[in-house]
Structure 1
């Protein structure tokens, strides 16, 4: 996984020595002479099995001339990252379509820096190198090599052999759980083609859960199939939440249990059965996407399936509707205190609450997955809380809430928790969602060392979304958002606010006297087309001396009727930030801020 220095590094756009010599001498060298090889080629955590190995790498510091990458195994060319990504990534068709529509060449072009090697032999070592490729097809030198061995063919525990019906109506919980319990170290629990209705399932260490092609794990619609003794969100939380459909949790919440080496893979589907589904909509590629009824705590009786049953059960036990709605719906997947997790290749549908929850985990990878949860209320994509090490790449997000969210505890007691740190998010497509990459609103123990790059979005509410309150403590720091393209933001392209309020949240924590803060945030080389609302919105609390600070915006361009509204910011820089289509009005609205620097900004602030 990425170390701290990787996620916080901010490489400058520097010329190579050969490029400098070329300029000084006044003649051209071949393009390959200036190409640098990619760096830190690696196999992400558990991103391999008996037939395939996934590689990722970081772009070279001087990558402007790099148009593709070629991958070699044992010295033999496997292929290029762009062509490979077309085959394996559910995000790539949308990324391709996005750029096909960019007739004016307005947008920043992202780079694809991953490769999935398939059709490999079991229990066999492979040595990989990667080369940068220029526009003329010339290559750089080899990257540093990485070696990885495929696994032996795993023992397979087919749930059908344990009594599962897979007919979409029989309850298969016991049969699937029996297969999981019988699973030996390194095994695979397989759901073959079929629809397997199930309540809560509990995974264990050193196993793979696989949904085969045409297989769907369908959440039961009955509240009683999800034990109420599931988990509490934070050590100081008071509400015990119900189990999720898939769990790595102690079956007794009073016990502590650590897990390791869990894989959940596709190509099948995990369907939470949370809400009623309206007619599908056709997306920009002509594919049908589900549209779930957008509900709340007043309409769940009409709109919900599992969500309705669970809220009604909680209300019948005496809980008020608001708290029942906000706390007692099951998420799709919840993992706690797990070291080494790989999610790959499956499709997520219709959670009653959140999508994939990772609590106090270490080294989690989400790759090549599809999230179709729009517009399920609170239907986030993937969340990380008080965790270390995350890699999110090649995923398609069309969600009813935040797409990739980071949390770190709430209020005064969060100072005793570990921070949320070290994450790398790249090569994803974000279609719908409250934000592409989101820090908060739970910021108490700090969210830090996040790198989001080479992502594309069309239609999310926001791009980089940072939200907290003046009583939450902590915040987010050392965050880089770069080399990305955004279109049709509904609210803000970039927002940093202390004015966040969730009407469904339960205040079951002690307020802090320290406000949240967002600092040392860098946004560079990003294009935002048709930005609506505020292109950049900063809301500190200057009346109480609560400022955000250290924001740096470099080479960011906006089109559309957007404005920069800045209040409560200090010691920050804006360089080569360009607005078009302003209608002759100045887009900059700056108040109660200090120490701001503007260079090459068009049009400039008053």
Structure 2
């Protein structure tokens, strides 16, 4: 059954029609099942998720959501639309989610819930009142949620970069012209990249502005390393390596200075292209659409594979840096923001970064919605990364990346304890196609990564579903993570992996090692299906030699399908309830160096320890 089959979109009129149908066939109204549905909770407008014509809503599922099939949104008391139908129109992830369930002919996979809504076509500077109702399979609605009231923005002053001399011919380097438009932008303004291909070097945003990549527009990174200041930023306060500026930055011009920003929006229907690597022939995806594939390079092949990546590494080597460090340090990411309070990324498409995708360092309140990431298989081409940041929502996005899709970091080694943790994140309603992992915590775990909720996501073809990685000298760890109500298929490696045995060949160890190993604890996984992982359904790797044990894992109602094993080494005080393995004739469990593990209604049961 497809998601579309569950897209009931019932209106009050439909409920009356159902009742009339029942009467026509001689039934009573009571023959239509009717349950008291719980009300959606915490309906809200995410940070900066509105402009002069659009408002985005999100909400939490009630605790008892088993019978809910959709959500109806009401505007000023009148029916506006259903979450599922709306998501079909606005989310680049939804067509892939629909196809995923179309192919699930045996009904193995957990069905996700859509709990966001984008209201469009609104008037500027106007107040709107929204409520949300849960809906069951028969069209019955819950009571209204608490109302949320939001006013759209006034029409902003628009600074079109063409007025400042920019040319969208794909050849002219427009850095000065585009930066002039940004510098001229007044608080609350919008800098517009119109239709065309606008090549540029590093750009620096400021507070209280919107950068819009318009429909038909491409912001194309220059292929020349000289167009990106080599002294861009330091990842952590104790780092010795200085990375070059990214294509788009909210950073001080002096990498040793501290500057704070607020209220930055990067939006639009256009493309941000980092111009990092050569492009292979396009791949045709499951929807018949062309997806770009970039050369999967490394520090021995960058000269033949790279564009911007080649020029930046070549320049660094010419200045005296060794190749390994130059490759791991001197390539530009696509977007880097530091010390920014309130950020919204919306709608645009990301292509071909020379290094990472979108970096959020020490930020607060970041939202990413309805974006498309096509960076596969660009080396280190992550989707979105957060480091030592607080508060984030990532929803309705499509990820096809050359590295981790959604990644969290919190510092390295002994000095990381002086930093704030990475915390308070909600990731939902995304589709993950290629990538090293859907949700990835680590390997930089020094100041702790904590309080993450990932739910109602779908993956088909990533290396790993939930991935946690650290080392025995990184310190900190990951804690208080909930991963639930999701479906995973065709993992290239593992369904879940929690490992202290991580090594990055390009990592620069410019920090004092901690004498404490990373640790994963208080991890809850529930209502998840995993089909055909290639290497392992579940892999837990502690480090008993350094007394590093993970603990308090809780797996509930998790179903695996396929022949991959479940290997546990270095886990304590954990429980597995209603965990099943289908499609294997061998006992999948291999358990060592672990203690106080309980298995309830697990099929098959692990061998006695």
TM-score, normalized by length of structure 1? 0.95
What is the aligned counterpart of 2:239 among 208, 224, 237?
A: 237
Query: Is 1:290 aligned to residue 292 of structure 2?
Result: yes
Equivalent position SS for 2:505: coil
User: Does 1:462 find its partner at 2:472?
Assistant: no
Match of 1:206 in 2: 208
Q: Does 1:113 align with 2:115?
A: yes
For 1:162-201, list aligned pairs within 5 A.
Answer: 162-201=164-203
| Alignment match of 2:228 (pick from 213, 226, 229) | 226
Counting matched residue pairs gives 578
CA distance in 2, matches of 1:575, 1:33: 28
> Does 1:95 pair with 2:94?
no
Superposed, 1:332-411 pairs within 5 Å as 332-411=334-413
- 1:147 alignment counterpart: 149
- The 8 Å contact of residues 206 and 260 in structure 1, kept in 2 or not, is answered as yes
Aligned twin of 1:23: none
Greater Cα shift, 346-355 or 33-42 = 33-42
Tell me by how many angstroms 1:32 deviates.
4.2
Answering whether residue 581 of structure 2 is matched by residue 590 of structure 1, we say: no
Match of 1:138 in 2: 140
Instruction: Tell me, in whole angstroms, the C-alpha distance in 2 between the residues paired with 1:255 and 1:545.
Output: 40
Equivalent positions of 1:554-565 (< 5 A) are 554-565=556-567
Deviation at 1:204, TM superposition (A): 0.1
Q: Give deviations 1:343-393, integer Å, cap 9, x for gaps.
A: 000000000000000000000000000000000000000000000001000
Distance 2:308 2:250 in 1: 21
User: Counterpart of 1:541?
Assistant: 543
Q: Give the secondary structure class of the aligned counterpart of 1:279.
A: coil
Distance (Å, rounded) in 1 between the aligned partners of 2:331 and 2:255: 17
Three-state SS of the structure 2 residue aligned to 1:432 is coil
CA distance in 1, matches of 2:355, 2:109: 35
Q: Distance in 2 between matches of 1:128 and 1:337?
A: 32
Q: Aligned to 1:357, what secondary structure does the other structure show?
A: strand
Alpha-carbon deviation of 1:545? 1.4
Which is further off, 524-533 or 439-448? 524-533
Residue by residue, what CA displacement relative to the aligned partner does 1:163-219 show, whole Å, maximum 9, x if unpaired? Answer: 001100001111100000000000000011000000000000000000110000000
**Aligned residue for 2:479?**
477
Matches within 5 A, 1:23-34: 31-34=33-36
- The 4+ residue runs of structure 1 with deviation greater than 4 A are 28-32
- 2:517–2:546 contact (8 Å) kept in structure 1: no
Name the SS of the counterpart of 2:177 in structure 1: helix
CA contact under 8 A between 2:43 and 2:146: conserved in structure 1?
Answer: yes
Q: CA deviation at 1:255?
A: 2.0
Any gaps of 5 or more consecutive residues in structure 1? 1-27
State the alpha-carbon separation in 2 of the partners of residues 248 and 529 from structure 1.
41
CA drift of 1:285 comes to 0.5
Q: Residue in 1 aligned with 2:82?
A: 80
DSSP-derived class of the 1:445 partner: coil
Which of 446, 450, 466 does residue 448 from structure 1 map onto? 450
1:256 paired with 2:258, answer yes
Between the aligned partners of 1:404 and 1:34, the Cα distance in structure 2 is: 37
SS at match of 2:87: helix
Deviations 1:275-328 (A, max 9, x none): 000010100011100000000000000000000000001001111000100011
SS of equivalent residue, structure 2 residue 179: helix
Please report how far the alpha carbon of residue 29 of structure 1 lies from its aligned counterpart in structure 2 after TM superposition: 9.0
Tell me the secondary structure at the aligned position of residue 433 of structure 2: strand
Q: TM-score, normalised by structure 2?
A: 0.94
The alignment yields a C-alpha RMSD, in angstroms, of 0.8
Identify the residue that residue 25 of structure 1 maps to in structure 2. none
Secondary structure of 2:545's counterpart equals helix
Alignment check: 8 A CA contact 2:402 2:435 kept:
yes
Gaps of 5+ in 2: 1-29
* Contact 1:31 1:134 (8 Å CA) reproduced: no
CA offset digits 1:93-136 (Å, max 9, x no partner): 00000000000000000000000000000000001000001000
Which secondary structure state, in structure 2, belongs to the residue aligned with residue 311 of structure 1?
helix
Aligned to 2:582: 580
Deviation at 1:30, TM superposition (A): 6.1
Deviation of the 1:266 alpha carbon: 1.3
Query: Aligned-pair distance for 1:31?
Result: 4.4
Contact 1:32-1:139 within 8 A present in 2 as well:
no
Q: Which moved more, 1:548-557 or 1:29-38?
A: 29-38
Per the TM alignment, residue 84 of structure 1 is displaced from its structure 2 partner at its CA by: 0.3
| Separation in 2, partners of 1:144, 1:355 | 37
Q: 1:543 deviation in Å?
A: 2.1
Asked whether the equivalents of residues 472 and 546 of structure 2 are also in contact (C-alpha less than 8 Å), the reply is: no
Post-superposition offset of 1:562: 1.0
Q: SS of the residue aligned with 1:292?
A: coil
Distance 1:122 1:43 in 2: 16
Deviation at 1:256, TM superposition (A): 1.3
What CA distance in whole angstroms lies between the structure 2 residues aligned with 1:249 and 1:503? 28
Q: Classify the secondary structure of the residue corresponding to 1:278.
A: coil
Q: Report the counterpart of residue 11 of structure 1 in structure 2.
A: none
The residue correspondences of 1:489-504 to structure 2 (distance < 5 A) are 489-504=491-506
**Aligned-partner Cα distance in 1 for 2:338–2:601:** 47
**Conserved in 2, the CA contact under 8 Å of 1:366 and 1:391?**
yes
Quick one: structure 1 residues 29 and 505, their matched pair in 2 at CA, closer, same or farther if it must change by over 3 Å? farther
